[in-house]
Structures are given as structure tokens and as C-alpha cells.
Amino acid sequence: MKFIAVLTLLLLNACFLFAQKTFTVSSPSSSVLLQVSQKVDGSLYYAVKFKRKNVIIPSMLGLKFSNPAVTLSAFQITSVDSLTKNETWKPVWGETSSIRNHYKELKLTLIEKSGSDIQVTITFRVFNDGVGFRYEFPQQPNLNHFILADELTQFALTGDHKTFWIPGDYDSNEYLYNTSRLSEIDALTASTQEPDIAVKSVFDANAVQTPLMMKSADGLYISLHEAALINYPAMNLVLDKKNFTFTTHLVPDAAGNKAYLQTPARTPWRTILISDKATDILDSKMILNLNDPSVIDDPSWIKPQKFIGVWWEMHIGKGTWDLASGKHAANTENVKRYIDFASRFGFDGVLVEGWNVGWEDWFGNWKENVFDFITPYSDYDIQYLTAYAKQKGVRIIMHHETSGSVTNYERWMEKAYQYMVDHDMNAVKTGYVGKIIPRGEHHDGQWMVNHYQRVAEKTASYKIMLDAHEPVRSTGLHRTYPNWLASEAARGSEFNNAGKLGMTPEHTTILPFTRLLGGPMDFTPGLFHLQLNQFEKNRTQRVRSTLAKQLALYITMYSPLQMAADLPENYEKYLDAFQFIVDVPVDWDDSRTLEGEPGDFITIVRKAKGKDDWYLGAITDENSRSLKITLDFLETGRKYEAFIYRDSEKADWETNPESYTIEKRVVTSKTKLNIWLANGGGCAIRIIMLPK
Ligand code: NOJ
Ligand code: CA
């Protein structure tokens, strides 16, 4: 087995020996090396090394069109350009207040060789922590409209890496992660073990989604993903287990085509993020750097924020979304109670789900016109609540569940956003539960990718912030559309309440290494009542986390939009712990991952924007752990007061999850902390600079 692997490696490297041309680009610090080679038949291959170790061995580049019917796999190189970029830019909000974009670029201008004369350029950017590349089709006489049958891009890996994967699926990303060798990937079996996912379309046992996280035997952390997914379908990867090579598989449309493009056109960036330290993966800005700058000239209306919501009480059976049940949660009195609570603790927003007519038959009937997004239920006095919220200094967050009827939503969109403006709302949570009707498009196909972008643009034109649930996975577009604060696009906290598998303690130690590499997630942390049979006695589901870990998630799961997901009455029981959620910021000057291992643990510190205060979050999986850290990120010579929210000695997610301890102590940059995290536990620390 080993011998065969070595032989394959030798043969693949031999390809380069017989190559007609080879171009080599090293990253600014020389840690990453890209080699692009062309064989005598005109085919193009790329390979990537990190600190002299192979990461991607020669892998094919190319595309296949169905109309015109051309395979672009052999090329004539007409020009080669290179440049170096070193700039710093400031995001509207984020984990750090400034971002360095430093790379070397190689641009190959090509003509397809078999007679089509189609022009294409491939641009490679080589960063110190990885590589991004994309195909571009300039405007040209021989190519105007064209249809893509697939992309032929491959990622050939060096061995049977440990992999954190979810099934390749055209519609859902709400899976638990599987951890296995590449050779053990079985997407079909994994998906049949997930009965609680509303709509699934897994197409191949060897297919996985990105961001895909891997760890090689020689200690490299490798993530494959894409950046700037615009006017194109999402990329799944199908593994050839004989040689550990992934081939791109784009999400099709209802007719089986992959993408309809018109020149000038370009694909998203294909990204390979690499480090020998897991912590560097979490601190990478490569995906953001590959996205275009913000299109919003005056972003002053965009505000990172925390919110509460008439939400979890429906998920755990206290109330319902629909009116007919007699337990309608979004009634004027109840919403008023949430507004009071938000105002008392300084939250900006109150999400109200189930406010609008249609929830009686919203799911499973696949009717087109269930919701109109402008008609409240009779017991929801929107005029009164708008005025009341305003008086209390709080804003109601709009909810637009489309139930997959996206053409219907497109018809109502403008009216719905105007309705929000008229009622003083400037943030919307959208949702795409179920099959996309009427045509049967997929959640991750080009048509829906364009829809999500249209929503981001239209909401921006009404000065509305966006939180999308059930959309395609994130690819850094929040740089271009900073009003798109967050997406769900993964298994969020709501799955703590879902039937068979729920949410494992390790899930939150994997998400930052996978889904979050593309952008912020509306995970909805902050559950304090961890047995979920509070209102329905037969409910067996529970949150597999300690209460202290729920606090730590506000740091380890970065988002400029953070929910305090539990019910006001549950927070009232633990107001001392709730204080951390009240205090924790959502926008930062600086962030540093102190330690981390996907599937095991993560510790991150962040500095509050414009302040001298730091916040630390540490989480562990199902195993308890001793956190040993020195606070050397603090300013030397200054004293700070630390508020430590940790698991008590007896805490355990299974037997004693709500047991925590809060300590206050003076610390400096020399302080060494030694804190125990329970099974499924965590720790959150607020560190405030004291006056001199
Ligand atoms: C799924 C969303 O993720 C959840 O937050 C929402 O409550 C339901 N859909 C209903 O829209
Ligand atoms: Ca969801």
C-alpha cells in the first residue's frame, strides 16, 4: 500500500519532468509554493507545497461546456503575467479592525487548443497560508452565452488524511460532521442517519461539501473551499479513493445543467488553506482577501448586534408559529414582554417569528403562495409594537420564512422590505426550509446563489441587514456585502432539539475549522435550560453542553450578529451568568486563537473594538480538559479585572450541566490561568483594564 502510494507520487512528479513548461510562484514569506505545469499535449496541472511538504500533487485544471460542446483541457499559453500585492484594508466589522492582503499572483492567458479558440485566463494568488485560483472568460468573438457541463478542477492529495466531512448535498448543509480517513468517507450512509433534515439530495457516496478540513500524517492542516461564490453553483467534491483525488462536482439546476454564463464571466476562487498549526487556520483572512471590496459606500447604518427572539419557545413546544393552535407565541403581549427584556439588558433586536399569516400549512405542502410577508396575524398589533419598541430603544427583527417558495418571495420582496422600513425595522432573518419550488432548483445551485445575492443587494438598497437561514454555505461575501451579517448554512443550535442525533459536544469544536472559514454563522448560542422537556414532558432531547460552554460560544463562534437564544424566564434564573452575554461585544479590534484542534478543543481571545478589554472563550468536546494559558496578550505593566465564568468542579454536560462558578480576580500579562473544563464544557472570561 505504502509502496503503491510512493510509486504514484513518483509518477505524478514525473509528469512535471515531461512538462513542456513550468511556472513557479512562492508566497511572500516562501512558506507556500505553487507550481503550474503544462504537458506537451497542452493540458495544465497545478501543485502546492507548504514548507517543502507536498500538499496538492499535480492536479488537473479545466472545464467542460455543454453548449458549445467543448472540453477545455488543452491550451496554448498566450501570455504570462505576475504581480505582488501588499495592502491593508479595514472591514466594516469583524474579528480584527484591519486586514493585510499580501500575495503573489500568476495569470495565464490561454486559448483552447482543439479548434474552438475560446479564450480563458487562470489567475493564481499565492498567500503565506494558501492558494486561490479562478477561471475567467473575457468578452470574445467566439464566446457569448455558454452552458457549463462541469468544472474539471482536481485536488490530488498526498495520502489518506484524517477528514472532517459532511455529505455532498445539493440542498442541505445541516449535518453533523463525520471524522474519518478519506478512504472511509461514505456520504450515503451518513445521510441516511440524519432523518431530521428537511430536504436532502446526496448524490454520490464519495461526495463531500466544502469547507472540507483535513489533517495529514505529516501534521499539515488543509482546508479546501471556495471564495466569492457569485453567479455560479456551489462546488462539491467527489473523491477517487484509489489516489485520494477530489474532482469538482458543481450543483446542477432543475434541468441538469451546471451554470449559464455570459462573457465576461468568472468562476469563484478555488481555495486551499494550509498550515502546520491549527490555530493559523482559524486566524486566516485568505477567503476574505479573495472577495471584492464592499459595494456599500456609506455603511454607517450597519450595526453588529445582539438580539433575543420569540423563537426557542416554539422550538421546545411552549408556543407555536401558527395561530390556529391556540398557543400562538407572536402575540402582542408576549412580544411586548421580549421587548421589555431586551430593553432592560441593552439588546438591540427582538426577532419575532410566526408574526405573519400562513403558518397553518407552511411546511410539506409545497404550495406557492403560503406567505405574503406583509400580513400580520390578528393578535399581533404591529402598529402598537412598532411604537412600543421605538419607545424602548429596541428594534423588531423581521422574519421572512419562504418555505422554499422562492419565486413567491421574489414577487413580494420589494413590498416586504418597504413594509419593514415603514415599521422601523432594519434587519431581516430569511429562511428556505424545504424543497425549492416551483421548478425544483437546488439550494446550492446557480439560480439560488443568484437569489441570495439579490436579497443581499435589495436589502442593502433599503438599508436592511441580513441573516439568511438555509442558504448556500458562506464564501466570504460579507466583505462585499457587509449588510449580510450572518448565515446559518450549517447545523446550528436548534438541532439540540432535533430527534435522533441532536448536536454532539464536539460539533462546536469543528464548525470554526469548517463552516466558519467562509463567514459568520447565526448559530444562536446561549441556552441555559439544558433539558428540553420544560413544556412538553415527553420531550427527550437535551442540549449536550454545560451552561458555561454556552457562554464561551459567544467568543469561539464569531459573528457580528449573536442571539441570546433562550427564554427570558430561563435567563431570569441565572442572571449572574447572563451578565456575560449582556457584556460580550460583537465587534473586535483583534482576535487570536491561542490553541485549537478540530474535533477536540478551541481557545480564542478577542479585544473589544475601541476598548482595552479582552474576552476569552474556551470550549472542549465530550472530554474534560485543563486549560493552561498565560495572559501575555494583555498590555504589560497594566492591571486588569477578570470575571471568570467556568464549569464548577461537579459540572458535566450529561449529569450536571447547569453547574457553574463565577470568580473575580486581578490579573496581569504574567498571570497563568489553570482552569478545568468539564466534559462538554467551557469557560468564558471578561478581562477589563483597570485605571492606572
Ligand atoms: C429553520 C430556521 O433555522 C429556524 O431558525 C426557524 O425557526 C425555522 N426554520 C422556521 O422558520
Ligand atoms: Ca435551519
CATH of the domain at 276: 2.70.98.10
In a domain, 243, yes or no: yes
User: Does 313 contact ligand 1 (Cβ within 6 A)?
Assistant: no
For residues 109 and 254, membership in a common domain is answered with yes
What is the rounded average pLDDT of the residues 596-608?
98
Q: Are residues 56 and 106 in the same domain?
A: yes
Q: Are residues 104 and 223 in the same domain?
A: yes
Whether residues 146 and 275 share a domain: the answer is yes
Position 8 pLDDT exceeds 50: no
One domain for residues 367 and 281: no
Q: Based on the residue annotation, tell me whether 494 is a catalytic residue of this protein.
A: yes
CA atoms within 13 A of residue 536's CA, in its CB half-sphere: 15
For 17-21, 52-56, 301-305, 320-324, which range has the lowest pLDDT when averaged over its residues?
17-21
Reduced 3-state DSSP string for 384-448: HHHHHHHHCCCEEEEEEECCCEHHHHHHHHHHHHHHHHHCCCCEEEEECCCCCECCCCCCCCHHH
Of 446, 473, 489, the one marking the end of a domain is: 489
On whether both 202 and 348 belong to a single domain, the answer is no
Do 227 and 291 contact (CB within 8 A), yes or no?
A: yes
- Going by C-alpha positions, the residue among 568, 600, 594, 595 that lies closest to residue 581 is 568
Query: Is 596 a member of any domain?
Result: yes
Confidence category of residue 366, pLDDT binned at 50, 70, 90: confident
- In this prediction, residues 467-490 reach a mean pLDDT of 98
Residues 647, 678: contact at Cβ < 8 Å?
yes
Residue 365's pLDDT band (boundaries 50, 70, 90)?
confident
Helices 575-583, 547-556: crossing angle, 10 deg rounding = 0
Q: The CATH number of the domain where 553 resides is what?
A: 2.60.40.1180
Query: What's the grid cell of residue 152?
Result: 474539471
**499 located within any domain:** no
- Of 615, 670, 625, 672, the C-alpha closest to 647 is 625
Section 80-98 average pLDDT: 98
Which residue in 494, 622, 641, 654 is the catalytic one?
494
Question: Average pLDDT in the 52-59 region?
Answer: 98
Identify the domain containing residue 57 by its residue range: 21-286
Domain's final residue, options 255, 286, 317 = 286
pTM for the full predicted model: 0.96
Query: Among residues 474, 489, 504, which one ends one of the domains?
Result: 489
For the Cβ of 467 lying below 6 angstroms from any atom of ligand 1, the answer is no
Residue 18 is predicted with a pLDDT of 57
> Which H or E run contains 213?
strand 212-215
The response to whether residue 654 sits with its C-beta less than 6 Å from ligand 1 reads: no
Q: Could you give the dihedral angle defined by the CA atoms of residues 384, 386, 387 and 388, in that order, rounded to the nearest 10 degrees? A: 80
In a domain, 324, yes or no: yes
Residue 630, in any domain of the structure? yes
Same domain, yes or no: 318 and 397: yes
In a domain, 69, yes or no: yes
Residue 431 Cβ < 6 Å to ligand 1: yes
User: Does 458 fall in a domain?
Assistant: yes
CB atoms within 10 A of CB 483: 24
pLDDT of residue 349 exceeding 70, the answer is yes
279 and 312 assigned to the same domain: no
Average pLDDT of every residue of the chain: 96
- Closest atom, ligand 1, to C-alpha of 470: 3
In angstroms, the CA 550 to CA 555 distance is 10
CATH number of domain containing 390: 3.20.20.70
Dist. CA 127–CA 574, nearest whole Å: 46
Does residue 1 surpass a pLDDT of 80?
no
Please, are residues 459 and 427 in contact by the beta-carbon 8 Å criterion?
no
What pLDDT does residue 9 have?
Answer: 43
- For ligand 1, what atom is nearest to the CA of residue 321? 10
> Rounded distance, CA 230 to CA 227, Å?
9
For residue 665, count other CB atoms closer than 10 A to its CB.
11
Number of domains in the chain: 3
pLDDT of 482 reads: 98
Residue 300 in domain: no
Condensed to tens digits (0 to 9), the pLDDT of residues 201-251 reads: 999 999 999 999 999 999 999 999 999 999 999 999 999 999 999 999 999
pLDDT for the residue numbered 364: 82
Q: What is the mean pLDDT of residues 623-648?
A: 98
Band of pLDDT at residue 465, cut at 50, 70 and 90: very high
Q: Report, as an integer, the average pLDDT of 169-183.
A: 98
CA-based angle 22:24:25, to the nearest 5? 155
Average pLDDT over residues 354-362: 96
232 & 354 share domain: no
Instruction: Output Rg (C-alpha) for the chain, integer angstroms.
Output: 25
- My answer on whether 280 and 332 are in the same domain is no
Mean pLDDT of 648-655: 97
The CB of 488 under 6 Å from ligand 1? The reply is yes
- Treating both helix axes as pointing N-terminal to C-terminal, what angle do 332-345 and 382-391 enclose, rounded to 10 degrees? 10
Q: Using the atom order of ligand 1, give the atom closest to the CA of residue 198.
A: 1
Ligand 1 centroid – CA 199 distance (Å): 14
Percent of all residues in the chain with a pLDDT value above 90, rounded to a whole number: 96
